[in-house]
Structure formats: structure tokens, C-alpha cells
């Protein structure tokens, strides 16, 4: 058994010798900050005293850009926010606008959305696992996880024509009917994937270096986690049993049976366990979605909002007029405001959309989990060694695209 309870070494400075503190700049160009995160650390020897995250290096003003686009044109923008989970972004935005429009979307579209969003979650967790292990020094796992991620990206490409920036979900359903062999491909993928998770687990769970770098590192109490607005797997690894998919179901999640993994460890190891378990639960949801996949259309019957099929557009005058109107003028959305939250791979993703009754959103605000998780970084790193900061950043699974927006 590993000795994981070793107390932190006392800093080799005299009591109160504040002038011994050094300010260290980490990033924005640093391989283990997962993008362009800059941390300003005040260190005492190798012990972290204070930590300030400095963000904004990737700020593109995407919320401002949304205000000058038609509602449908915002969908491709959302892909670029959390670029590791593109379909989750699409889903959240589409659900928000559909709520504003009070639009019912067909059953088949709902199920395909759930199916692909869960694949997105696995995709996002695979990148987290690969990069997290790589930060710790286990370089091999990265190659293993990217092998499986490649297959998911190929599935996305088959569905939408794009590997990463999918934009496959549309307001009112899906862009088009998925290709014929798609469900077989996904079935083949999820049949082999459980062994792959075991393979990662075999590489990491018993690895003494990996264990000692994660166990009891980055402690975040449940009270602190809730107070600092931390969500998702990081929150559940602190022992708070809350998952939006189960507790406030959206997009038909109430029809699926799955377990929400929770860990009371409150450390990086707990976060590792929770995410690994979440991948297995996602597989269950995908299997249920494949088994019960209903037939029917994939677009809502709303000719003034949803683009008509190509065939109809070329043969029917009315469909052509609708097509022309939607493309050139967009569609008006009733005035009002909605907040739609979903459980993305990283945590709670929320879109706050305000409409003033025109064809362009008056305000789109995006709430992303990484932005809130970053606030908890100081709490998790204070009093720990400098090297633990790298492990903690990996364990909260941040994407700078979603933080800086």
C-alpha cells in the first residue's frame, strides 16, 4: 500500500519571512496549461502560497458576435467555444432557442441528439484522460485515447461532414438524416470500447507514480465546491450528488436509465475515478438510444423556422419561398429570455438567450464550467507543492476556449 498521507513538507524559510516569497509566472505558453492559461504563483520555496489565474488570452468576443447573426447562424459559432465537445454546445444553444420558440422537435431527433451528445462526452473525457496522464508523465495513454477518439471523430465526420466543428444540430431538429450505416458503426464502437476503458485503467489505476501524484492532491471540500460554483465531474468527485441529466432532465434524458458516479474523495483521484466511470455510463445511454431509436422525421414541422428538404425546395414554390425567407431574413423569435443548462463533459453549460422579438438574438450569454472551476484552483493548490498545480489543472478538465469565449 502506498503511503499517501504524507504531510506537506514545511518550507525551508523562517516563520514570517515574507520577503522569501517568489513570484513565478506560469504560462500562457506552457504545455500543461491546456491552452493559453496564465497563472501567477506566489511561492515559498516549492510551496504555493497564492495563485492568480489570468485568463482572456483567447477572448474572441463570441457573445458580441452572436448579436449580429441570425439565430441559426449562431450554431456554428457555438462549436468553437468548447471545441472538445462541439455537439454539446450545439445542443445547449438549440434547446434554449427552441424553448424561446416553444418548438416541439420530433422524437427521432431528440434520441439522435442524446446519442451524439453522449459520444461527445466520451470524446471530451478521452482528451482529458490522455492529456491529464501526459501532464503527470504517463505519455503512452495519450496515444491510446487518441486512437479511440479518432473513431469518434470519424463518426462525427460521417454524420456532419466535419470532424470537430460539427454544427449538426439545428434549431428545430437536425441538419439531415444521419447516414445509413451510422448506428452500426456506433454499435461496433461501443462494443469494443469497454475493454478500452479497462485498458486505460490497467495502465493508470495501479501505476504507483500516477497514484501518488493524484491521491490526496487538490483537495476541494463539498462546501467550497458549491460555493465556488464548481459543477460537473469535479463537483461530483467532491461528494455532491447532482447531475443535470438526472435531476433536471432536458432533451429526453428522463427516458434513459443510468447511474451518476459520485466520489467522496474530494481529490484529483476522485475526479479520475468519476470521469472513468462516467464513460461507462455514457455507453449505457448510447446502447439504450441505439436499441430504442424511433423512426420518423428529424426536423420539426415548422416551415417558417426549419429549412425545407432540398427535394421540396426544388419542386415546390412554397418551400422555395420559405427557404429564401429563412436564408435571407432569418426568423423572428418571440421576445423573452431563457436560461437552458445542460450537463456537458466538463460540467454545467448554460446558455442565457434574450430575444427582443427580431431575427437576431439581443444577447447570448454562455455559462461554461471551466470559468467557474478556475476560481477553485487557488483553494485546491494552496499549501501544496508547485508540481501539484499541474496535476490539479489536469484534473479539473478545462478548455480555454470556453473560459475566454
Q: Which stretch binds other proteins (CB under 8 A): 40-48, 151-159, 165-173, 370-378?
A: 370-378
- How many CA atoms within 13 Å lie on the side-chain side of 331? 19
Question: Which CB atom, from 308 or from 401, has the smaller least distance to other proteins?
Answer: 401
Q: Which stretch binds other proteins (CB under 8 A): 123-131, 179-187, 288-296, 335-343?
A: 335-343
CA distances (Å), 181 to each of 92, 144, 155, 185, 187, in order? Answer: 27, 25, 10, 6, 10
**What's the CA gap between 71 and 304, in Å, rounded?**
13
- Give which of 158, 207, 212 is closest to 186, Cα–Cα: 158
Q: Which stretch binds other proteins (CB under 8 A): 60-68, 181-189, 190-198, 259-267?
A: 60-68
Helix (H, G, I), strand (E, B) or coil at 115: helix
CA distances (Å), 285 to each of 93, 235, 238, in order? Answer: 22, 21, 24
Among 59, 147, 191, 325, binds other proteins (CB under 8 A): 59
Strands 169-170 and 348-355: unpaired
Question: Which CB atom, from 93 or from 200, has the smaller least distance to other proteins?
Answer: 93
**Site residues (CB under 8 A) for other proteins, limited to 240-299:** 240, 242, 247-248
Among 372, 380, 391, 396, binds other proteins (CB under 8 A): 372
Q: What is the DSSP letter of 179?
A: P
- Give which of 399, 342, 371, 355 is closest to 95, Cα–Cα: 342
Kindly tell me the burial class for residue 11, based on how many C-beta atoms sit within 10 Å of its own C-beta (0-12, 13-18, 19 or more).
middle
Q: Which stretch binds other proteins (CB under 8 A): 53-61, 141-149, 283-291, 381-389?
A: 53-61
Among 21, 30, 38, 365, binds other proteins (CB under 8 A): 365
Q: Which stretch binds other proteins (CB under 8 A): 13-21, 161-169, 203-211, 346-354?
A: 346-354
Question: Which CB atom, from 264 or from 375, has the smaller least distance to other proteins?
Answer: 375
Q: What is the DSSP letter of 89?
A: H
Question: Which CB atom, from 330 or from 336, has the smaller least distance to other proteins?
Answer: 336
**Site residues (CB under 8 A) for other proteins, limited to 80-99:** 99
Among 40, 164, 338, 359, binds other proteins (CB under 8 A): 338
8 Å CB contact between 223 and 247? no
Site residues (vs other proteins, CB under 8 A): 55-56, 59, 61, 63-64, 67-68, 99-100, 102, 226-230, 240, 242, 247-248, 336-339, 341, 348, 350, 352, 354, 362-363, 365, 367, 371-372, 374-375, 404-405
Amino acid at each position: 500500500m502506498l503511503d499517501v498521507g504524507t504531510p506537506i513538507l514545511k518550507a525551508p524559510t523562517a516563520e514570517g519571512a515574507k520577503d522569501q516569497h517568489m513570484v513565478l509566472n506560469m504560462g500562457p505558453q506552457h504545455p500543461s496549461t491546456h491552452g493559453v492559461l496564465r497563472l501567477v504563483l506566489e511561492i515559498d520555496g516549492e510551496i504555493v502560497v497564492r495563485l492568480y489565474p489570468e485568463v482572456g488570452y483567447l477572448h474572441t468576443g463570441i457573445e458580441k458576435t452572436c448579436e449580429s447573426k441570425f439565430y441559426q447562424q449562431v450554431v456554428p459559432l457555438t462549436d468553437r467555444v468548447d471545441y472538445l465537445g462541439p455537439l454539446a454546445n450545439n445542443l445547449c444553444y438549440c434547446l434554449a432557442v427552441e424553448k424561446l420558440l416553444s418548438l416541439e422537435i420530433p422524437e427521432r431527433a431528440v434520441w439522435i441528439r442524446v446519442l451524439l451528445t453522449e459520444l461527445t462526452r466520451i470524446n471530451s473525457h478521452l482528451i482529458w484522460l490522455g492529456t491529464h496522464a501526459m501532464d503527470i508523465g504517463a505519455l503512452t495513454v495519450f496515444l491510446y485515447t487518441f486512437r479511440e477518439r479518432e473513431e469518434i471523430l470519424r463518426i462525427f465526420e460521417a454524420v456532419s461532414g466535419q470532424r470537430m466543428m460539427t454544427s449538426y444540430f439545428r434549431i428545430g431538429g437536425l441538419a439531415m438524416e444521419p447516414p445509413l450505416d451510422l448506428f452500426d458503426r456506433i454499435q461496433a464502437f461501443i462494443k469494443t470500447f469497454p475493454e478500452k476503458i479497462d485498458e486505460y485503467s490497467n495502465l493508470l489505476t495501479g501505476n504507483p507514480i500516477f497514484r501518488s501524484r493524484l491521491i490526496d492532491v487538490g483537495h476541494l471540500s463539498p462546501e467550497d465546491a458549491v460555493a465556488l460554483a464548481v459543477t460537473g465531474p469535479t463537483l461530483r468527485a467532491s461528494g455532491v450528488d447532482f447531475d443535470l441529466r438526472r435531476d433536471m432532465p432536458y432533451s429526453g434524458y428522463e427516458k434513459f436509465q443510468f447511474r451518476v458516479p459520485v466520489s467522496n474523495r474530494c481529490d484529483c483521484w476522485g475526479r479520475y475515478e468519476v470521469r472513468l466511470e462516467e464513460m461507462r455510463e455514457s455507453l449505457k445511454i448510447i446502447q439504450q438510444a441505439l436499441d430504442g431509436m424511433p423512426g420518423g422525421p428529424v426536423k420539426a414541422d415548422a416551415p417558417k423556422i426549419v429549412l425545407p428538404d432540398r427535394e421540396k425546395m426544388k419542386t415546390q414554390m412554397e418551400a422555395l419561398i420559405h427557404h429564401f425567407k429563412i436564408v435571407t431574413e432569418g426568423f423572428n423569435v418571440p421576445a423573452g429570455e431563457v436560461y437552458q443548462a445542460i450537463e456537458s463533459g466538463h460540467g454545467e453549460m448554460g446558455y442565457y438567450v434574450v430575444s427582443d422579438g427580431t431575427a437576431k438574438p439581443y444577447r447570448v450569454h454562455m455559462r461554461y464550467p471551466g470559468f467557474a472551476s478556475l476560481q477553485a484552483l487557488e483553494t485546491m493548490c494552496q499549501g501544496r507543492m508547485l508540481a501539484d498545480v499541474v496535476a490539479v489543472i489536469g484534473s479539473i478538465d478545462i478548455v480555454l476556449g470556453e473560459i475566454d469565449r
